[in-house]
Amino acid sequence: MTLDAVLARIDADLPHALDRLMALMRIPSISTDPAHAADCAAAADWLAEDLRAIGFDAHPRPTPGHPMVMGHGGTAGPRLLFYGHYDVQPVDPLELWHRDPFDPAIEDTPRGRVIRGRGSSDDKGQLMTFVEACRAWKAVHGTLPARITMFFEGEEESGSPSLVPFLKENAADLDADIALICDTGLFAEGTPGIVTMLRGLLGEEITITGPAKDLHSGMYGGAAMNPIRVLARIIAALHDENGRVTVPGFYDGVPDLPEEVARQWQGLGFDAAGFLGEVGLSAPAGEKDRTPLEMIWSRPTCEVNGISGGYTGAGFKTVLPSKASAKISFRLVGQQDPLKIRESFRAMVRGMLPPDCSVDFHGHGASPAAQMAIGDPAFEKARTALSEEWPNPAAFIGCGGSIPVAGYFKDILGLDSMLIGFGKDDDAIHSPNEKYDVDSFHKGIRSWARILAALAA
């Protein structure tokens, strides 16, 4: 049996696949930090070389930012575009890591074996599940079951500034029948999902300036405007008492959840108490008239991701600071227009400024939500293939995170995307001590082998 030999090869080669993943994880490819530009380039080189080793015509491709990696392989079968990203999140606060984030290791934990380190789950480990499935197929059959374009980005964690122009300039090279994206999670332990609804993302950084320089609060306190107070008032005003976002026009284009989808989601038996309890919480904090699953999958949100101003070191300093700033992100759904919301948000902030204060805005990405056309038979083939690998049948699900590339693939390349991934809620992506279950990695590779076989059949 064609597929069985490939699966057996995957099982036998797992130790080497883990070694390869950890070699890639040792490269600290933090895309948001200019000090790590050379590391991003090194990760792109590593991937291109690895793809060439399994027969792809693969190379790093320069951009104004970090390089893309593109590689073509296979001579017959459906045309598949596979996407992952090799850049990783920053690692602060470093003191909360139990080991060097870029010195990965396999650890035994009460919940099973995990690969510990930055990028294990987001997204180096996920990306390599597909690469390893291709490697095993090539080793067994000497060829690939499809015409595959590998496409790896190095700026996903920093708003993908080069992605849209690159897609436009290289549309012919990237043409395919369907896209596969591996940057999402399982629906639940033992239950894989294919994401068919993705929230969009709007990132805004605002800096409020009051006095021209830091002042002594004893000398000026009471008389001079404090930009932290101004910023706090703005942030406090972004939600009303019912948890709704107050930016004017924010809910324009937010669809009601279709009855049918609502019913299906109720049938999923989502464990809201467990989801929150995992991170020490008990009460859903979003809109009061929505379920937790709606809050994270189908409703738009506004979050403050960071805030700073004044003296934040040890001890106390009675400074009245000149500046205070915050990083604020909006998750978008349906037809919400990120650029309209950006303008409305900025107008709202300007309208709340007292005399003597000014504001600077810095935008960090603006992508709309995406809804996949699940009528394509590839979706049902992939769902069946996944269901054969995992204990429970696969589900079509929503996703709270934003994978802007899926929207760009649709708009620029005309491609639908199947978003399939094997991360877990407790992977601590974007947090200290990120991990990826060895089981996610292993069954993820096997899942892709099954999906490739199903799509090629």
Residues between 312 and 351 that touch a copy of itself (CB under 8 A) = 312-321, 324, 326-327, 329, 331
Residue from 99, 141, 168, 233 binding a copy of itself (CB under 8 A): 233
Q: What is the CB neighbour count within 10 angstroms for residue 340?
A: 15
224 near a copy of itself, judged by CB under 8 A: yes
Output the smallest distance, CB 117 to a copy of itself, in A.
16
Whichever of 144 and 395 has its CB closer to a copy of itself, that residue is: 395
Among 64, 142, 283, 375, binds a copy of itself (CB under 8 A): 283
The footprint of a copy of itself on this chain (CB under 8 A) covers a number of residues equal to 98
Q: Which of 41, 268, 276, 348 touches a copy of itself by CB under 8 A?
A: 276
Query: What binding mask, one character per residue, do residues 195-214 give for a copy of itself by CB under 8 A, x or -?
Result: ----x-x-x-x----xxxxx
Binding a copy of itself (rule: CB under 8 A), the pick from 356, 360, 393, 457 is 356
Q: By CB under 8 A, is residue 417 in contact with a copy of itself?
A: no
Query: Is residue 228 within the footprint of a copy of itself (CB under 8 A)?
Result: yes
User: Which amino acid is it at 314?
Assistant: A
* Separation of CA 438 from chain center: 20
Residues 168-187 that bind a copy of itself (CB under 8 A): 185
Closest by Cα among 357, 358, 333, 363 to 345: 363
**Within 26-45, which residues bind a copy of itself (CB under 8 A)?**
31-34
- Can you list the alpha helix ranges (DSSP code H) found in 311-412? 338-351, 377-389, 404-408
What does the block give as tokens for 386?
């996944």
Instruction: List Cα–Cα distances, 420 to 138, 148, 176, 184, in angstroms.
Output: 22, 16, 17, 6
Q: Given the DSSP bridges, would you call strands 178-181 and 79-85 parallel, antiparallel or unpaired?
A: parallel
d(CA 278, CA 332): 25
Does 1 interact with a copy of itself (rule: CB under 8 A)? no
Interface positions, 95-134, toward a copy of itself (CB under 8 A): none
- What's the rounded Cα separation, in Å, for the pair 65 and 62? 8
In the bound state with a copy of itself, the residue whose beta carbon lies nearer, of 67 and 159, is: 159
Q: Say if residues 106 and 114 touch (Cβ distance below 8 Å).
A: yes
Distance in Å, CB of 382 to a copy of itself, minimum: 22
Distance of alpha carbon 339 from its chain centroid, rounded?
21
Q: If we measure between CA atoms, which residue out of 201, 89, 195, 158 comes closest to residue 428?
A: 89
Q: What phi and psi, each to the nearest 5 degrees, are found at residue 329? A: -125, 150
Does the protein bind a copy of itself through residue 365 (CB under 8 A)? yes
Judged by CB under 8 A, the residue of 28, 74, 309, 404 near a copy of itself is 309
Chosen residue from 301, 336, 367, 417 binding a copy of itself by CB under 8 A: 301
